[in-house]
């Protein structure tokens, strides 16, 4: 036992399937599990109150689990580049371990920290466990380029075989003979942050339907895996965007923070599928995890993945900047009850169904408001519990028909789409109680109700609830034409040559079309 080791938790806020943590325990006499509140990642404008509460819950849970192993979590405030040299010296550290992270900020941060570790003669060990596969391996198998269609990525993944099996969580036996100095006086300084630390008004907090933490993640996973019939017949397009309780797993916040390992999720599904007839990718639950892998792969292979400019695979569109429209969308004041109900659920609960994300993302961008997907991406990053750099950027590009998906003429109606799965508008009534007395006939279009009906419902449009900010039928047609122009410019091949320069391969749109027709995301 020679090492004094820091295991640096960033994502991966769990003990199960944490190979880097296991590497820390090897040959270790003193263990310091550390989480850093990096001001670059954690500031009020980027992390909404619900996501902050989720993180605080996850850190509390992790600290509790570490205490059961006679250790604890040290939460340190500051930039990692400033924090580590002090900790290396103060705690006489000889080894640093962490989970590999593909985000550009994380990659540059880790490079700087690794250089500092070298200066302090600290050995660095990192392991891949946030994704099913080593993302670089997938791109390598595709001749060093990001596969830009799901079925291409799936074909590559098939050649790699199934994902690695998850690693078991450490036991008391694994930490025998190893100690974590508790630094008694510094207990508060290194403590898990309080809910008000980020400066949000905690009085705004509502119920907590999805509490953070590994224990809750594993409980939630088990709960779903028990419903083997549901798991085996799961087809994403058949799930509902506006059911009163979620129609999909809501494991995304847990996977995003790494409270749940994607590989554990994958292998649990494999167990449930064993010997039974089951759905397949892209629509199955395995398929959903492969969508995650797909967007991670693209995010690594495509430069400037979270931007339009400088992103060689993204169609360049002349989006408007309209602050009033953006604010109306963000604050659930568009006058379209389906859109406003979704945006209310997002703000209140931090999670909305995938197809609800489709509806509001299409509405903000190519469908109605003609506002850049980057603006929507920022709002989602702040408000989603599962806010994830790669998945958010990838899905916004998809929905705005900027990348991956090219059928820009297929626009979601903010009126008809929700009716398919909720004729009565019960979802709207739940999130917009001001409309709860409207008859079903008008609940999606209250402005069409005769004044007497509005008065009887106790909600006059234009006074108690906004009028629609755009005329969907008119604006969506105009926007399709604008999108057509953007595509025409693109086929001038300017971005194709940029893609080639960047070494990024664009696959034939026809493949994407076929996938969308057959596969449905
Ligand atoms: P399930 O259907 O139960 O799927 C299981 C898991 O598969 C999810 O937990 C998630 O990890 C993964 N998954 C499912 N769908 C997708 C998908 N389309 N892309 C990638 N991974 C997927 N997901 C995020 O986790 N973070 C984001 O920031 C995010 N931003 C999005 C933005 C837009 C505009 C859109 C349209 C989608 C976004 N998604 C994002 C993808 C998807 O909507 C969510 O992952 C999913 O709705 C989470 O709910 P669930 O856990 O019940 O999913």
- CATH code for the domain in which residue 265 is found: 1.25.40.80
- In the three-class reduction of DSSP (H, G, I as helix; E, B as strand; rest coil), residue 235 is classed as coil
Distance from chain centroid for Cα 280: 22
Asked whether residue 9 is assigned to any structural domain, the reply reads yes
The pLDDT, as a whole number, for residue 515 is 37
Q: Which residues, including other chains, have CB under 8 Å from residue 415's CB and lie 6 or more apart?
A: 336, 338, 444, 445, 472
Task: Decide whether any atom of ligand 1 lies within 6 Å of the 516 Cβ.
Answer: no
CATH number of residue 16's parent domain:
3.40.50.620
- For residue 167, pLDDT over 80 is answered with yes
- For residue 139, pLDDT over 70 is answered with yes
Domain shared by 139 and 242, yes or no: yes
| Residue 272 structure tokens | 């449930």
- Tell the residue nearest (CA) to atom 52 of ligand 1: 250
- Tell the residue nearest (CA) to atom 2 of ligand 1: 248
- Residue 506 confidence class, pLDDT cut points 50, 70, 90: very low
The pLDDT, as a whole number, for residue 490 is 87
| Residue 233 structure tokens | 């017949």
Whole-angstrom CA distances from 510 to 145, 293, 517 are 19, 22, 10
The pLDDT, as a whole number, for residue 456 is 98
Asked whether residue 412 is assigned to any structural domain, the reply reads yes
Domain shared by 287 and 331, yes or no: no
Domain shared by 94 and 148, yes or no: no
Asked whether residue 502 is assigned to any structural domain, the reply reads yes
- For residue 501, pLDDT over 80 is answered with no
Domain shared by 285 and 240, yes or no: yes
The pLDDT, as a whole number, for residue 203 is 87
- Domain-terminating residue out of 130, 145, 180: 130
The pLDDT, as a whole number, for residue 293 is 98
Closest C-alpha to 402, from 290, 520, 297, 302: 302
| Residue 204 structure tokens | 């705004």
**Domain span at residue 94?**
1-130
To test the pocket of ligand 1, the residue of 237, 250, 391, 404 to mutate (highest count of ligand atoms within 8 Å of its CB) is 391
The pLDDT > 90 percentage for the chain reads: 89
Domain shared by 154 and 76, yes or no: no
Distance from chain centroid for Cα 426: 27
Asked whether residue 368 is assigned to any structural domain, the reply reads yes
- Closest ligand 1 atom, residue 389 Cα: 28
- Domain-terminating residue out of 130, 151, 179: 130
- Residue 517 confidence class, pLDDT cut points 50, 70, 90: very low
Task: Decide whether any atom of ligand 1 lies within 6 Å of the 392 Cβ.
Answer: yes
Q: How far is the centre of ligand 1, averaged over its atoms, from the C-alpha of 292 (Å)?
A: 7
- For residue 497, pLDDT over 50 is answered with no
**Residue range 76-100: mean pLDDT, rounded:** 97
Domain shared by 378 and 457, yes or no: yes
Asked whether residue 27 is assigned to any structural domain, the reply reads yes
The pLDDT, as a whole number, for residue 519 is 41
Q: Which residues, including other chains, have CB under 8 Å from residue 320's CB and lie 6 or more apart?
A: 369, 370, 371
- For residue 510, pLDDT over 80 is answered with no
Distance from chain centroid for Cα 359: 17
The model carries a pTM of: 0.94
- Tell the residue nearest (CA) to atom 42 of ligand 1: 354
- Domain-terminating residue out of 109, 130, 151: 130
Asked whether residue 188 is assigned to any structural domain, the reply reads no
Domain shared by 225 and 246, yes or no: yes
Domain shared by 367 and 485, yes or no: yes
- For residue 509, pLDDT over 50 is answered with no
The pLDDT, as a whole number, for residue 188 is 62
CATH number of residue 352's parent domain:
1.10.579.10
**Residue range 269-281: mean pLDDT, rounded:** 98
Q: Higher pLDDT residue, 484 or 198?
A: 484
**Residue range 62-74: mean pLDDT, rounded:** 95
Straight-line distance from the first to the last Cα atom of the chain, in angstroms, rounded to the nearest whole number? 50
- For residue 383, pLDDT over 90 is answered with yes
Distance from chain centroid for Cα 99: 18
Asked whether residue 195 is assigned to any structural domain, the reply reads no
The pLDDT > 70 percentage for the chain reads: 93
- Residue 513 confidence class, pLDDT cut points 50, 70, 90: very low
pLDDT, tens digit, 9 for 90 and up, residues 443-492: 999 999 999 999 999 999 999 999 999 999 999 999 999 999 999 998 87
Task: Decide whether any atom of ligand 1 lies within 6 Å of the 357 Cβ.
Answer: yes
Domain shared by 244 and 95, yes or no: no
pLDDT, tens digit, 9 for 90 and up, residues 1-21: 689 999 999 999 999 999 999
Asked whether residue 202 is assigned to any structural domain, the reply reads no
Of 100-114, 179-193, 465-479, least confident by mean pLDDT is 179-193
**Residue range 187-204: mean pLDDT, rounded:** 86
The pLDDT, as a whole number, for residue 1 is 65
- Tell the residue nearest (CA) to atom 3 of ligand 1: 249
The pLDDT, as a whole number, for residue 491 is 84
The pLDDT, as a whole number, for residue 183 is 65
Q: How far is the centre of ligand 1, averaged over its atoms, from the C-alpha of 256 (Å)?
A: 9
Domain shared by 334 and 468, yes or no: yes
Domain shared by 359 and 251, yes or no: no
Average pLDDT over the chain reads 93
Tally the domains of the chain: 3
Whole-angstrom CA distances from 30 to 1, 27, 61, 208 are 9, 10, 22, 36
Domain shared by 367 and 511, yes or no: yes
- Tell the residue nearest (CA) to atom 30 of ligand 1: 392
């Amino acid at each position: 036992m020679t090492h004094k080791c820091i295991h640096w938790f960033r994502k991966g806020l769990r003990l199960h399937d944490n190979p880097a943590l296991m590497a820390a325990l090897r040959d270790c006499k003193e263990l310091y599990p550390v989480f850093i509140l990096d001001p670059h990642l954690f500031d009020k404008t980027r992390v909404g109150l619900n996501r902050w509460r989720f993180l605080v819950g996850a850190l509390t849970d992790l600290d509790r689990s570490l205490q059961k192993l006679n250790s604890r979590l040290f939460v340190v405030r500051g930039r990692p580049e400033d924090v580590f040299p002090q900790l290396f010296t103060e705690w006489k550290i000889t080894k640093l371990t962490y989970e590999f992270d593909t985000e550009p900020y994380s990659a540059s941060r880790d490079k700087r920290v690794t250089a500092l570790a070298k200066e302090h003669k600290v050995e660095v060990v990192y392991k891949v466990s946030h994704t099913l596969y080593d993302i670089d391996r997938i791109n390598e198998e595709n001749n060093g380029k990001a596969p830009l269609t799901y079925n291409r990525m799936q074909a590559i993944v098939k050649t790699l075989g199934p994902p690695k099996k998850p690693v078991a969580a450490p036991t008391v036996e694994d930490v025998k003979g190893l100690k974590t100095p508790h630094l008694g006086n510094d207990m508060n300084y290194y403590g898990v942050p309080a809910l008000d630390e980020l400066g949000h008004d905690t009085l705004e907090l509502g119920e907590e339907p999805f509490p953070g933490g590994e224990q809750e993640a594993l409980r939630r996973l088990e709960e779903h895996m028990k419903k083997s019939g549901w798991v085996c017949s799961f087809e994403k397009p058949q799930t509902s965007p506006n059911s009163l309780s979620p129609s999909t797993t809501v494991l995304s916040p847990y996977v995003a923070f790494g409270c749940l390992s994607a590989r554990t999720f994958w292998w649990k599904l494999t167990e449930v599928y064993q010997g039974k007839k089951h759905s397949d990718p892209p629509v199955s639950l395995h398929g959903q995890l492969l969508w995650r892998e797909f967007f991670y792969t693209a995010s690594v292979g495509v430069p400037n993945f979270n931007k339009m400019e400088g992103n060689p695979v993204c169609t360049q569109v002349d989006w408007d900047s309209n602050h009033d429209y953006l604010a109306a969308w963000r604050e659930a004041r568009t006058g379209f009850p389906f859109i406003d109900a979704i945006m209310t659920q997002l703000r209140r609960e931090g999670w909305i169904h995938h197809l609800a994300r489709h509806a509001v993302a299409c509405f903000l961008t190519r469908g109605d408001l003609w506002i850049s997907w980057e603006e929507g991406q920022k709002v989602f990053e702040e408000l989603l519990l599962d806010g994830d750099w790669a998945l958010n950027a990838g899905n916004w590009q998809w929905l705005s028909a900027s990348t991956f998906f090219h059928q820009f003429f297929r626009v979601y109606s903010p009126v008809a789409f929700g009716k398919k799965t909720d004729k009565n508008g019960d979802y709207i009534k739940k999130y917009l109680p001001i409309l709860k007395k409207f008859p079903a006939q008008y609940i999606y279009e209250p402005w069409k109700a005769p004044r007497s009906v509005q008065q009887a419902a106790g909600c006059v449009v234009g006074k108690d609830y906004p009028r629609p900010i755009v005329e969907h039928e008119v604006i969506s047609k105009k926007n399709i034409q604008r999108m057509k122009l953007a595509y025409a410019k693109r086929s001038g091949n300017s971005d194709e040559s940029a893609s080639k320069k960047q070494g990024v391969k664009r696959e034939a749109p026809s493949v994407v079309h076929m996938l969308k027709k057959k596969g449905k995301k």
